[in-house]
Structure 1
Amino acid sequence: MTRMHGRAAVAGLAIVLAFWASAGARAAVTLSQAVDAAWPLGTVAAEAAGQARRAQAGQTAASAWWAAPPSVELGTLRNRQAGRGAASETEVGVALSLWLPGQRAAHQAQGDAELALATTQAQLARWRLAGTVRDAAAEVALQRADVAAAHAQAQELSTLAADVARRVAAGELARADALGADAERLAAATALAQARQRLLAAERQWAALTGLPEVVDLPVDAPAAASAGHPALAAAAAEVAVARHRLQVARASRRDAPELVLSARHEAAPGEPDVRGVGVALRVPFGSASRNEPLLAAALSEVELAEAAERALQRQVQAEQDGARAAETSARQQWRDEQARAALLRERASLIDKSFRAGETALPDMLRALTAATQAEAAAARARAVFAQAVSRLEQALGAMP
């Protein structure tokens, strides 16, 4: 009987520790694959594609030969003269908007900058989605650790309750001891059911996010190195570049585009030869300070705001990275401490179990020691999950793309 109960206590620890190996076996996908699976399920993919199409359309418009689509003018005049019939006059013209000096190049540079911005913002959206996927995987890992610990405690208390019941039947323990052991067993079963419900909710959230049944097992290895460019900082720099190019466009567009007008005229009158002619005209609008200065001021303000936002984001990213490093270091130490504490309390519970078997320790003391050991093992398992989450969040803060 003593050996059987000792094996149950050891099994409780084994279940918690073996949880991580089984979790790794369940994980059949990588974080990158999970993000790829989640990408088309949300709205971010459609938003990124739409922005890329708008940028490409703007780039195409900037490469056109004309500053605006050509326009056609058509006019006709009929004049009836007494005794001579009707005279007619028809004129057809085409107005072509011309680029101002440097305006086309400025628009083309802006189109290139907007296309680059669309690319960096798509990468930023994927990076943010990766953070959501990381958190969802970490939540599943935390709930699995709780389930594993609750299962281990339920098994230990169930074995203990059966052992106490046999000893009560043999007259070694009082009926009150059996009632207390059964109450603890039922409480552990309830805790296990609640933990399983929380795990089910976390797994459903993961499946809704990624569409995958398998959950990524976040490693506890050293965090990946930072990417060459943090996605958020790269997007901010691209926004600054777009704002600067818009300012250049505003400076190159101090007045409306001039128009080259090509026209053809035909006059016909009874008894007279037809008259045909071709005309060329250049229409040049004049700019004014009242019109252009507000546009330039707005463009300059956009540049200043973009630059200020970039500087603020740089400080924010640095603060997040420092905080993530501190959290990772703290979580690592807490995991080590919880592992050591769990080993000590399990050894203590084993010694008290021998004393209980010898009749030297009361059942409440035995239950408290057993509960303390199991809870410490649960804390160690959860600390491991928290540490994996901290490593993942540090990678996210460093801008590492999965």
Structure 2
Amino acid sequence: MNHSMRPFLSITMACAMTWGLPARAQVSQPGPSFHEAVVMAWAIDPVRTELQVGHHSARARASAAGSWFAGGPTLSGEYMDDHMIGSNEGYTTYQGGVSVPLWLPGQGSATKQVASAEAASIDEQLNVEHMALSIRVLDAAAAALIARTRVDVAHASYDSAARMAISATHAVHGGELASADGQLAQAAMENARNELALAQEEAENAAAALEVLLGRPVVPDLTRYGGSDVTQARFVSPRDMEDNDPRIKVAHRNVEAAEANMKLARHSFMPNPEIGVDAIHEKQYGSPWDDRVGLNFSIPLPSEVRNTPIMSEARNRLATATSQETQARRMVHLEMMRVRERLIAATTARRATQLAAESMEQRATAQERAWRVGEASLDTALAARQAAANTRLTSARAEMEWHVASIRTLIATGIVP
């Protein structure tokens, strides 16, 4: 075999192997909707399970606070006789009792309000986690789709570079082109091959990250959502959007729970008193009676040593919750502004990059045609083709970012499309 034909054959075989890859990608099944993807992720989200357990626990505490007594009963017992001191008169005493702690005035209802407020706060925390999970799924899906687009662009760039390398190899063998230009074409093809490998690596990593969230090797279709979907938003004014945000709701619920805890601290101004019954059975020499029944009570008195830390902790909790609510409102307000501006910027960038990609593709085609007829240099044609590929990838990113910005705006209004 002629050694000069080996570069041409290697280029031809490489083209044959890579041209088959886009065809296999086209037969993939369409992905689920974004809403379906969020449902998949929510079903296996570990934070959801943790919050649900906390919610059931808070509800159980609220139910337990409806008890008649502030705690469980206390049993007491005594036994005494005279044998231990050497006497044998038969003096023996058996004594037993049971007592229960009592609620202080308003303490039972306050305890129930604290547990109910904490359960309501956890309800809103579930909504916060659902919103955060939706954003994570959105970002992961966008990264996977952009990575796929990068693979498609890299495939197209490799195909163009390989096609031009084949033509350059023919021209070199025919004496129509300098060997340096042939080497330049082959170097461009190898660079395109490297870019394709890097793009495939990025696509695999992005798909794996998304699979961890969804539990399935699927990529949701975000392209079905666009700017027209934003008109479905239930809240138009920024104030309504902020009030509907679950992060502000959970912050407000935390303030309510802290206020209920402050009320409970005020009603717990002393340890719970106890009341109960005692029974005594005695065996005494010559005694006309041997059984007695009576009541017992225990009332611990208030103490500043005990009450001051309780009230201080309640005040600190209320101050922290109030501060966090204010900070949450500021954060959400700023985020709403950013989401709106991102959608406006993404809409402009989408149109601009589309026009730029079309123009650069036409320029690359014209430069390649001019090179083939000898009106342009090879490096100019290769540079035009590379610029067209970069602009196409930028346009694809802008297109995806526009869809992402539209969905993100809907999420900010409480809608998971």
Short-chain TM bin: 0.7 to 0.9
The answer to whether 1:305 aligns with 2:320 is yes
SS of the aligned residue for 2:157 comes to helix
The answer to whether 1:374 aligns with 2:378 is no
The answer to whether 1:279 aligns with 2:279 is no
Per-residue CA distance 1:315-359 (angstroms, 9 max, x = gap): 011101111211221122112111101111222233333333332
Give the conservation status (yes or no) of the 8 Å contact 2:226–2:402. no
Partner of 1:10: none
Within the candidate set 276, 281, 304, 1:266 is matched to: 281
The answer to whether 1:50 aligns with 2:65 is no
SS of the aligned residue for 1:125 comes to helix
Partner of 1:255: 270
Distance apart, 1:216 and its partner CA? 1.4
Distance apart, 1:212 and its partner CA? 1.0
Give the conservation status (yes or no) of the 8 Å contact 1:262–1:280. yes
Distance apart, 1:364 and its partner CA? 2.0
Distance apart, 1:375 and its partner CA? 2.1
Within the candidate set 68, 73, 86, 1:70 is matched to: 73
Whole-Å Cα distance in 1 between the matches of residues 56 and 75 of structure 2?
29
Give the conservation status (yes or no) of the 8 Å contact 1:117–1:239. yes
Partner of 1:186: 190
Whole-Å Cα distance in 2 between the matches of residues 352 and 138 of structure 1?
33
Distance apart, 1:73 and its partner CA? 0.9
Q: For 2:100, give the aligned amino acid.
A: L
Whole-Å Cα distance in 1 between the matches of residues 168 and 200 of structure 2?
27
Distance apart, 1:268 and its partner CA? 2.2
Partner of 1:233: 248
Per-residue CA distance 1:120-159 (angstroms, 9 max, x = gap): 2122222222222221111111211211111111111111
Per-residue CA distance 1:94-134 (angstroms, 9 max, x = gap): 11111111111111111111111122212222222222222
SS of the aligned residue for 1:86 comes to coil
Partner of 2:342: 327
The answer to whether 1:390 aligns with 2:405 is yes
SS of the aligned residue for 2:82 comes to strand
**Structure 1 gap segments, 5+ residues each:** 1-14
Within the candidate set 166, 170, 175, 1:166 is matched to: 170
Per-residue CA distance 1:53-96 (angstroms, 9 max, x = gap): 33133223312211011101111221359997412221111111
Q: Percent identity?
A: 29
Within the candidate set 96, 100, 115, 2:100 is matched to: 96
Partner of 2:4: none
> Counterparts of 1:69-148 in structure 2 under 5 Å?
69-79=72-82, 85-148=89-152
Whole-Å Cα distance in 2 between the matches of residues 34 and 351 of structure 1?
43
Partner of 1:221: 226
Whole-Å Cα distance in 2 between the matches of residues 82 and 300 of structure 1?
60
Cα separation, partners in 2 of 1:27 and 1:124, compared to 1, 3 Å:
farther
Partner of 1:8: none
SS of the aligned residue for 1:72 comes to strand
Q: For 1:118, give the aligned amino acid.
A: I
Using the TM superposition, name which of 369-378 and 110-119 deviates more: 369-378
**Structure 2 gap segments, 5+ residues each:** 1-18, 236-240
Using the TM superposition, name which of 253-262 and 56-65 deviates more: 56-65
Within the candidate set 153, 159, 169, 2:157 is matched to: 153
SS of the aligned residue for 2:91 comes to strand
Q: For 2:207, give the aligned amino acid.
A: E
Q: CA RMSD in A?
A: 2.7
Give the conservation status (yes or no) of the 8 Å contact 2:82–2:88. no
Per-residue CA distance 1:233-252 (angstroms, 9 max, x = gap): 11111111110100110111
Whole-Å Cα distance in 2 between the matches of residues 288 and 83 of structure 1?
45
Distance apart, 1:396 and its partner CA? 4.2
SS of the aligned residue for 1:92 comes to strand
Q: For 2:48, give the aligned amino acid.
A: A
TM-score by length of 1: 0.87
TM-score by length of 2: 0.84
Q: Aligned pairs, how many?
A: 384
Distance apart, 1:164 and its partner CA? 2.6
Using the TM superposition, name which of 69-78 and 354-363 deviates more: 354-363
Whole-Å Cα distance in 1 between the matches of residues 88 and 289 of structure 2?
15
SS of the aligned residue for 1:200 comes to helix
Partner of 1:288: 303
Q: For 2:183, give the aligned amino acid.
A: L
Q: For 1:291, give the aligned amino acid.
A: R
